[in-house]
Structure 1
C-alpha cells in the first residue's frame, strides 16, 4: 500500500534486464476497465478473484520478470505462497508516515480510500497494515 512497489519494481527490472509488469495493470487489461470501476460494478470479492486468476496465469509463464502487486494481493487466497513458489519475493517495508503522505495524494484513485477524511485514512492504513503484515513477512526478503 503506497510503499513504492511500482517505482522500485521498474528500477529493479531495468537493473536486472528483466521485463516489468504491474498486476493491477494486468487485471485492468483483463477486465477492460480500471480498478475503481471494477470495485464499483462488481465489488471487492470479484476484483480479488480476478486478481488471483491473473496472478496464477502470470506466475505460471515461467519466464524471468519483476511483478509489482497491489498491497492486498498477498493477503488473499494462496497468493503469497504462489508468488514465493514462482520466484524471489520482496517486502518493501515503508514507514507509516511516508505511506499516509502518499495516500493522501492518491486517495481519489484508490477505491478503498476514496472519500475518507485524513483521520479516517490514517486509521484505515494502520488497521490494514496491521492485518497485512503477517502476509508481507512471508516474503523471502524485507527491504
Structure 2
C-alpha cells in the first residue's frame, strides 16, 4: 500500500476501533497502535484505574501527549480513545498527519459490545444505554468532522476494512 500517512480510527467506545485497526494494519502492513494501550503501559495502570485515581482531566492530558508523539510518525493505524478528538488540538494534529475514519454503531450495538467490560469508566452508571446516547450526541459534532464515516453495526470486520481501503 502506498498510502504513507497514518490512518486514525475515531468514534465511540465499542464502535470497533481496536478490532478494525488490528485487521486494517494486518491488511496494509502498517503498524497498529492503540492509544489506550500506550497510556496503560506508560502508567502501568488500567484506564479505569487512571480515571478513578487521577481523574478524567489527567487521563486526557496523557492522551494528548501520546497523540502528539504518534502524529509525528508515519505508517500507523491508530485506534484513538472515544473522546480523543473532542480536544481541538488533538483533532488538528490527527487531521494534519493522517486520515480520520469515524466508526459508528447504534447505542444498542455499543452496549452489547461493552456491557461485560469492567474497563469502561464512563459507563459505570445506572442507565448505560442512556449514557451512551447522551455521550454520542455530545461527541457527534466531532465525529462528523472526520474524513469518512463508516457504520459498523451488523457488519463484519472484513467488510469494514474493505470499505476503508476503498475510501483511502
Superposition TM-score, scaled by structure 2 size: 0.78
- Say if 2:52 is the partner of 1:40: yes
Q: Which residue of 2 aligns with 1:123?
A: 130
Q: 1:91 aligns with which of 102, 106, 114?
A: 102
Q: Which runs of 4+ in 1 moved over 6 A?
A: none
Paired residues of 1:80 and 1:138 also in contact (CA < 8 A): no
Paired residues of 1:80 and 1:139 also in contact (CA < 8 A): no
Higher relative contact order (Cα pairs below 8 Å, separated by 6+ residues): 2
- Say if 2:31 is the partner of 1:31: no
Alignment of 1:102-117 (within 5 A): 102-106=113-117, 108-114=118-124, 116-117=125-126
Paired residues of 1:28 and 1:34 also in contact (CA < 8 A): yes
Instruction: Give the number of the structure whose residues are more often helix, by fraction.
Output: 1
Aligned residue pairs, count: 138
Let me know the Cα RMSD of the aligned residues: 1.2
Hey, what's the Cα distance between the residues in 2 that align with 1:15 and 1:7?
Answer: 13
Paired residues of 1:13 and 1:65 also in contact (CA < 8 A): yes
Instruction: Give the number of the structure whose residues are more often strand, by fraction.
Output: 2
Unaligned runs of 5+ residues in structure 2 are 1-12, 151-168
Superposition TM-score, scaled by structure 1 size: 0.91
1:105 Cα deviation from its structure 2 partner: 2.0
